[in-house]
Chains A and B, each alone.
Chain A
């Protein structure tokens, strides 16, 4: 069983605040690390896929970093907006067959 842990499980921030969450995963047999954004009553949507140690990805106000040696990734949101409210899922791919293990997610609520 592969453990993918995310923290915190839930988070409330004020509009305009910046925030970040953590995903930890096994550092052995690493293949890829994914971040997904999941709005209530919708389907998960891919934000980033990272494969190399030290990778940094950015999409608008959201960015992510990857450390495969120590087994963690951070997701940052700068200047949170109410539309950022969602559950952010981290997923770890091991081996070469795209087997994906999801974390339980961090539920973000941005208060106007």
Chain B
């Protein structure tokens, strides 16, 4: 298996632009998680999905952030409009329902100037 796939690996954009991060979970996994890593706050859970349904989005910072999972093999995290404070590494992870072990993707390093 190729593992969790994220794209792009690096994104540099200007303040105010829309940013879309993509994730393909491991085939057969039913749960998908989006995390943000910053120096100050460590690894923060933004949102997670079970069977493509968002279960808890209380970690999403504000209305500028949105996430979708249209099918079992694809999810997006969108930031519109982006701000410099959104600069961070964004990780996607997936797991089997009922199996607690999460498998992380390589992350997307976002820089907003």
> What residues of chain A have their CB less than 8 Å away from a CB belonging to chain B?
32, 34, 42-46, 49, 51, 89, 93, 97-105
Contacts and interface: CB of A to CB of B under 8 A. Distances in A.
B55 interface: yes
Contacts of B102: 34, 44, 46, 100
Interface in B28-49: 31, 33, 35, 42-45, 48
Contacts of A105: 42-43
Contacts, number: 50
B39 to A, nearest CB: 10
Given A98-B31, A100-B33, A100-B45, A44 B104 contact: yes
- The main secondary structure of chain B at its interface with chain A is strand
- Ranked 3 nearest A-B pairs via Cβ: A43-B104, A102-B43, A104-B42
Given A49-B100, A89-B43, A103-B42, A43 B56 contact: no
Contact of B107 (A34, A43, A97): A43
A50 B1 CA distance: 25
Given A44-B43, A98-B48, A32 B91 contact: no
B4 to A, nearest CB: 8
Interface of B: 31, 33, 35, 42-45, 48, 50, 55-56, 91, 95, 100-107
Nearest to A47: B101
A34 B91 CA distance: 17
A104 B101 CA distance: 19
27 contacts: A34-B100, A34-B101, A34-B102, A43-B104, A43-B105, A43-B107, A44-B43, A44-B104, A46-B101, A46-B102, A49-B100, A89-B43, A93-B100, A97-B55, A97-B56, A98-B50, A98-B95, A98-B100, A99-B48, A99-B56, A100-B33, A102-B35, A102-B43, A102-B45, A103-B42, A104-B42, A105-B43
B106 to A, nearest CB: 6
Nearest to B6: A43
A21 to B, nearest CB: 15
Contacts of A42: 106
